[in-house]
């Protein structure tokens, strides 16, 4: 688990850097450049979807050349270049370019990092491994948001404050890259003479994996950018520093629950956490649509953190467990790509509904799709890892 700890620390420092900036992006766009919610949705959707195309390609390269550490490092370096691009941005176009750089880095690093985590996991502890990594990831996100809150508290909104934060956020990004010195990679197997593209063998993939990829797309189509949660919190009367505290509370909850959720999925099955996770998301989105009191909004952000813990690490454990060993990186990348491919229409639809119909509309839409995803999984998905463990016993 030591290797997983260092991989988690990489994400910890990188997420400190990222989350010092992320909650401010919609505020920066709307307050400094006069962007509308629809434009915010387009920027986030373009950034996420453009970068998502790299995730399956990065996974394929990881399987092909067996250099996950090097590929993951190049992806994490994107977080550093993202902050530098923000410092140079003077318009919403500049912010868009910076966001694409950031998400491109995430697209490159996700699959090889998850391969390193899965290959470092002990027997029967895949959920625990991804849970530990996610816990450190979310702890970094929590700390990053808290740092931003302390730095901005009592200051007037202005470009100087934003740019100062962008500069400070470079420090943890560099620290994250330094953690790669301690990450170990298993010996690379000799390359095979012939290797067929994975899509030629798609029919050989487990049908449960294909089903889950379809459900991921459906769910993500209603799971728009978290920037809309920040805008909704502002609608409820929270100022910019209070919004950051809400986001901090969400991340702390996810960090605290991620490892217990991963361990629980090892014992009871992935399905028994994924389905309640989708139901929790639907409840959150209905809450964002209709909540009027600030107290209820706080409770919803806590529940949103619980949903994050129930889904993120568990779904990666499921994909890593069920994918063919030779295609593990490709399948982990494909899962991220499928989700990313839905983010552009998801964010564009959410932004359009927000402007044309009202702030409740995108959340009702997302809740409905999440309920549909939960029903499909409940009816058609097996508890794969439980069946897998029984096969090992016999």
pLDDT tens digits for 236-294?
888 777 887 888 889 899 999 999 999 999 999 888 999 999 999 999 999 999 988 88
Outline where the chain has alpha helix (H). Answer: 2-21, 25-32, 37-65, 68-88, 92-120, 126-152, 159-168, 170-178, 207-221, 227-235, 240-268, 271-290, 294-322, 328-356, 361-380, 384-393
Instruction: Taking the CA atoms of 203, 209, 215 and 217 in sequence, report the sign of the dihedral they define.
Output: negative
Looking at per-residue pLDDT, the higher value among 268 and 149 belongs to: 268
pLDDT at 390 over 70: no
pLDDT value at residue 122: 75
Domains of the chain: 2-183+204-393 (1.20.1250.20)
Listed ranges 169-173, 231-235, 267-271, 338-342; the one with the highest mean pLDDT = 169-173
pLDDT at 358 over 90: no
Nearest to 71 by CA among 107, 33, 117: 107
Looking at per-residue pLDDT, the higher value among 65 and 278 belongs to: 278
Looking at per-residue pLDDT, the higher value among 383 and 363 belongs to: 363
Task: Determine contact, residues 60/330, Cβ cutoff 8 Å.
Answer: yes
3-state SS, residue 305: helix
Nearest-angstrom CA–CA distance, 362 and 355: 10
List, for residues 175-225, the tens digit of each pLDDT value.
999 999 999 886 544 444 444 555 555 556 678 888 888 999 999 999 877
Instruction: Taking the CA atoms of 391, 262, 52 and 108 in sequence, report the sign of the dihedral they define.
Output: negative
pLDDT band of 226, cuts 50, 70, 90: confident
pLDDT at 299 over 70: yes
Nearest to 379 by CA among 205, 208, 264: 208
pLDDT value at residue 191: 46
159-168, 194-203, 268-277, 308-317: segment of lowest average pLDDT: 194-203
List, for residues 9-22, the tens digit of each pLDDT value.
999 999 999 988 88
154-168, 207-221, 311-325: segment of lowest average pLDDT: 154-168
Nearest-angstrom CA–CA distance, 3 and 7: 6
271-275, 281-285, 330-334, 336-340: segment of lowest average pLDDT: 336-340
List, for residues 82-119, the tens digit of each pLDDT value.
999 998 888 889 999 998 899 889 889 988 999 999 98
3-state SS, residue 12: helix
pLDDT value at residue 187: 52
pLDDT at 307 over 90: yes
pLDDT value at residue 316: 85
Nearest to 105 by CA among 139, 137, 82, 130: 82
User: Per-residue pLDDT averaged across 368-386, rounded?
Assistant: 85
pLDDT value at residue 202: 55
Here the tokens at position 346 are 């998801």
pLDDT value at residue 351: 80
Other Cβ atoms less than 10 A from the Cβ of 120: the count is 20
Other Cβ atoms less than 10 A from the Cβ of 386: the count is 17
Looking at per-residue pLDDT, the higher value among 337 and 156 belongs to: 337
Percentage of the chain beyond pLDDT 70 is: 89
């Amino acid at each position: 688990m030591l290797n997983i700890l260092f991989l988690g620390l990489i994400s910890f420092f990188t997420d400190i850097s990222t989350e010092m900036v992320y909650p401010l992006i919609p505020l920066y766009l709307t307050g400094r450049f006069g962007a509308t919610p629809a434009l915010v949705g387009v920027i986030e959707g373009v950034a996420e979807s453009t970068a998502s195309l790299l995730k399956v390609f990065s996974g394929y390269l990881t399987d092909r050349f067996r250099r996950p550490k090097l590929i993951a490092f190049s992806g994490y370096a994107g977080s550093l270049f993202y902050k530098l691009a923000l410092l140079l941005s003077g318009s919403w176009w500049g912010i868009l370019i910076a966001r694409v750089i950031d998400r491109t880095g995430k697209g490159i690093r996700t699959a090889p990092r998850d391969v390193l985590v899965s290959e470092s996991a002990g027997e029967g502890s895949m959920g625990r491994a991804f849970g530990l990594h996610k816990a450190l990831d979310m702890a970094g996100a929590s700390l990053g948001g808290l740092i931003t809150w302390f730095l901005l508290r009592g200051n007037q909104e202005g470009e100087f404050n934003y740019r100062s934060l962008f500069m400070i956020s470079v420090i943890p990004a560099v620290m994250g890259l330094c953690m790669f010195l301690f990450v170990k990679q298993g010996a690379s197997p000799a390359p095979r003479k012939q290797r067929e593209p994975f899509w030629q063998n798609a029919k050989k993939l487990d049908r449960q994996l294909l089903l889950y990829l379809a459900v991921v797309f459906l769910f993500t189509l209603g799971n728009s950018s978290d920037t809309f949660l920040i805008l909704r919190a502002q609608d409820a009367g929270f100022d910019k520093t209070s919004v950051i505290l809400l986001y901090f509370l969400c991340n702390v909850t996810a960090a605290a629950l991620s490892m217990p959720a991963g361990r629980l999925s090892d014992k009871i099955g992935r399905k028994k956490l994924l389905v309640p996770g989708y139901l929790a998301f639907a409840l959150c989105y209905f809450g964002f649509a209709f909540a009027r009191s600030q107290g209820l909004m706080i409770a919803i952000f806590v529940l949103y953190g619980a949903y994050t813990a129930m889904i993120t690490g568990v779904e990666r454990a499921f994909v890593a467990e069920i994918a063919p060993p030779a295609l593990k990186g490709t399948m982990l990348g494909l899962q991220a790509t499928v989700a990313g491919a839905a983010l552009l229409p998801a964010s564009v639809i959410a932004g359009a509904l927000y402007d044309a119909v009202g702030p409740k509309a995108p959340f009702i839409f997302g809740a409905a799709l999440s309920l549909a995803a939960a029903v499909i999984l409940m009816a058609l998905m097996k508890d794969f890892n439980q069946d897998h463990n029984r096969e090992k016993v016999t």
